[in-house]
Amino acid sequence: MKREIKKHLYDIKISIDSIYEYLGDKRDFLEYQNNKLLRRAIEREIEIIGEAMNRALNEDPDLEIENARKIVDTRNWVIHGYDKVDDVIIWGIISKHLPKLKEEIEAYL
């Protein structure tokens, strides 16, 4: 695997780890929903994840990451549809999709 792709995957891993760090062990949706700073920080990390995935896919379109295209689409939605970002959807991404993505990324690294 090219060094540049590994860099992008590493950036994704760092962003996922950062999201978990921001949330702590409690991981409470109501706390997330009521904390604008926390929401914005997590949204920013999702943007980074999506951009890094986009760059990795540009280097290797056959990169086998489940939902890679949806990850990029989510980044676009958060950035361009900032006024339509839904806390429930973001929380679902955090709860259901990030653990799987982290496993896939770590397998590559």
pTM of the predicted structure, to 2 decimals? 0.94
pLDDT at residue 61, rounded to an integer: 94
Query: Is 8 noted as a catalytic residue in this protein?
Result: no
Task: Summarize pLDDT for 45-57 with one digit per residue, the tens.
Answer: 999 999 999 999 9
Task: Summarize pLDDT for 27-72 with one digit per residue, the tens.
Answer: 899 999 999 999 999 999 999 999 999 999 999 999 999 999 999 9
CB atoms within 10 A of CB 71: 23
Structure tokens at 22: 């921001």
Distance CA 71, CA 97 (A): 10
- Which spans in 35-97 are helix H? 36-59, 68-80, 87-92
Average pLDDT of the chain is 96
- Cα→Cα distances 54→18, 70, 97, Å: 19, 10, 17
Catalytic, out of 8, 40, 55, 75: 75
Catalytic, out of 39, 55, 80, 97: 80
